[in-house]
Every structure is written in structure tokens, then in C-alpha cells.
Amino acid sequence: GVHPCDRRRNINEYKPMFPAIDFSLIENDDDVLWTADTREKDEDLAARGVKFMKWLLTREEKEIAVVTHSGFLYHTLGAYGEDCHPTLKKEMSKHFSNCELRSMVIVDRSMIGSDTSKTNFPGKIPSGTDLPSDAVK
């Protein structure tokens, strides 16, 4: 809330502008999270981001574009990577510039070895003890 850039339009305004997009999973036409006098707390934003990431991992698609506010990405990605190599953690939690595009491969470690179609991306999961990623326990 507070800042107009944090508020989205009514979903019914977007539908004619983006007819190829399926908006059926959006629960409210209005932006129910935005209020004029208070801004969402960072920890609440991160929790919402973690919930989104869990939902994202349930999707069958192999490549998904996430288009959102840089603050949402910053706090969401900041909630991950505590056991990553410091260089990777730093790279993951950098602020996004306006209109910046980043490509990431997100892997749920609990899925490794169970369904290779969900974890076997081009280049495969690298192996080795010096791997700076969440894929290593």
C-alpha cells in the first residue's frame, strides 16, 4: 500500500488488454492487499512470496515467466538460499532494476531423484562438493 505503484488495476481491466492470459486463478478482481495508509510488512511480503514459490513448484510447465514487482522478487528470493554459497546468495538477493529480466532454475531438493522431468533441466544438476547452490546438502 501507500505507493500507487504497489497497487494493481482491477482484473477486469486487464482481461481485454491480455486476452491470451488465463486470469481464472486470481481470486479477487480488486487488489485486496493494497491499502492507502499502510504498506505490507517485509516479513509478510516474504511469506506471501514463499507461498507463491510453493504454488509455482506444483505447476506442470517447464518454463514459466514471472512478471511482478521488484520488491516482491527481492523479498521472496531473500527468503531462500541460507545454505547457499555466499556468492549465489548475494546474486539471488540483489534488487531488480526496472524491467530487468533474470533467468533462474528453481529446483525443489525434495524432488531430486524422484521425478527427473521436474529436476532435469538442460545442463542437468551439476554435481560436486564445491557446487554453490541449494542442490547440495
Res. 132: pLDDT tops 50? no
Total-model pTM: 0.71
Domain span at residue 48 reads: 40-137
| Contact assessment for residue 107 and residue 135, using Cβ atoms and an 8 Å cutoff | yes
Same domain, yes or no: 53 and 22: no
Q: How many other C-beta atoms are found inside a 10 Å radius of the C-beta of residue 136?
A: 16
Same domain, yes or no: 68 and 30: no
Same domain, yes or no: 22 and 54: no
Average pLDDT over residues 80-102: 85
Domain count, the chain: 2
Q: Mean pLDDT of all residues in the chain? A: 81
* pLDDT-based confidence at residue 123 (cuts at 50, 70, 90): low
User: What's the CA gap between 126 and 68, in Å, rounded?
Assistant: 29
Same domain, yes or no: 2 and 57: no
